Amino acid sequence: MIKDNTVFVGNKPVMNYVLAVVTQFNNGADEVSIKARGKAISRAVDTAEIALNRFLEDVAKKEIVTSTEIIDTESGQTNVSSIEILLAQR
Amino acid sequence: MIKDNTVFVGNKPVMNYVLAVVTQFNNGADEVSIKARGKAISRAVDTAEIALNRFLEDVAKKEIVTSTEIIDTESGQTNVSSIEILLAQR
C-alpha cells in the first residue's frame, strides 16, 4: 500500500481537496495527511469533515497537530500557523 | 481553581483572543478551551500558537478536536466545521 500521502489545501474550492483525499483512499492508501497554512486552515478542517461525513465510511481522524512555521517573505521572516490532520483507515 | 474556561474566537483581531487566553491562565485556570467555527478556525489556531509561543511558559496543547455543527439559517440548515483546542498547564 502507498504510504505518506499528503493533500496540501490552498485556495481552490474545498471539493477539489475532498476529491483528492477520497481518491487517495480509493487507490489503497492507509493514511492521508491533510496540510494547510494560514487562512487555508479552515478549509483543511472542512476538507476532513466533508470527506469523513459524506464519502469515507471506514476512515477516522487519527491525529491533529498544529504548529508555527517561519516563512521567508520579501519583507523578512514571518510566522504562520499550520495544521496537519491525519486520516487513517479504521 | 476555575474549571471550564472557554474563549470563543470570532472576527476580532487575534491579539484580543490571545489576551483572553493568557488572562484566564494568569487568573488560575488549569485549562483553557479555544473554540471557533468556520473561517474563524484559522484564527483559533493562531491564537493558540501565539499564546503558547510568546506568553505561556508551562502550558501545552492537550487536545485538538474538529467536528461538524448543524446551524439554522434563514435559508435552512447548513453544516459548519468547528475546532476546539484545549490548552492545559503542564
ipTM value = 0.91
Grid cell 490552498 — which residue? A10
Selecting from A40, A81, A85 the residue whose C-beta is nearest the C-beta of B49 gives A81
Report DSSP state, residue A58.
S
Question: Is residue B64 within 8 angstroms of chain A, CB to CB?
Answer: yes
For residue B40, the distance in angstroms to the closest alpha carbon of chain A comes to: 7
Selecting from A40, A53, A79 the residue whose C-beta is nearest the C-beta of B68 gives A53
Any bridge partners for residue A78, and if so which?
A71
The model's pLDDT over B16-58, given as tens digits with 9 standing for 90+, comes to 999 999 999 999 999 999 999 999 999 999 999 999 999 999 9
Question: Is residue B83 within 8 angstroms of chain A, CB to CB?
Answer: yes
Domains of chain A: 6-89 (3.30.110.20)
Question: Is residue B86 within 8 angstroms of chain A, CB to CB?
Answer: no
**What is the C-alpha radius of gyration for chain A, rounded to an integer number of angstroms?**
14
Question: Is residue A40 within 8 angstroms of chain B, CB to CB?
Answer: yes
Residue A58's alpha-carbon distances to A7, A26, A87, in angstroms, are 19, 11, 10
Nearest to B42 by CA among A58, A9, A44: A44
Selecting from A38, A39, A48 the residue whose C-beta is nearest the C-beta of B66 gives A48
Grid cell 487566553 — which residue? B21
DSSP per position, chain B? ----EEEE--SS-HHHHHHHHHHHHHTT-SEEEEEEEGGGHHHHHHHHHHIIIII-SSEEEEEEEEEEEEEEETTEEEEEEEEEEEEEE-
Specify the amino acid at residue B41.
I
Report the pLDDT value the prediction gives residue B4, as an integer from 0 to 100: 67
A 10 A CB-CB count for A58 gives 8
Question: Is residue A42 within 8 angstroms of chain B, CB to CB?
Answer: yes
Report the pLDDT value the prediction gives residue B3, as an integer from 0 to 100: 56
**Where does the pLDDT of residue B85 fall: very low under 50, low under 70, confident under 90, or very high at 90 and above?**
very high
Report the pLDDT value the prediction gives residue B2, as an integer from 0 to 100: 46
Nearest to A58 by CA among A19, A87, A20: A87
Q: Which residues does B3 contact at the CB level (< 8 Å), separation at least 6?
A: B29, B30, B31
The model's pLDDT over A3-39, given as tens digits with 9 standing for 90+, comes to 569 999 999 999 999 999 999 999 999 999 999 999 9
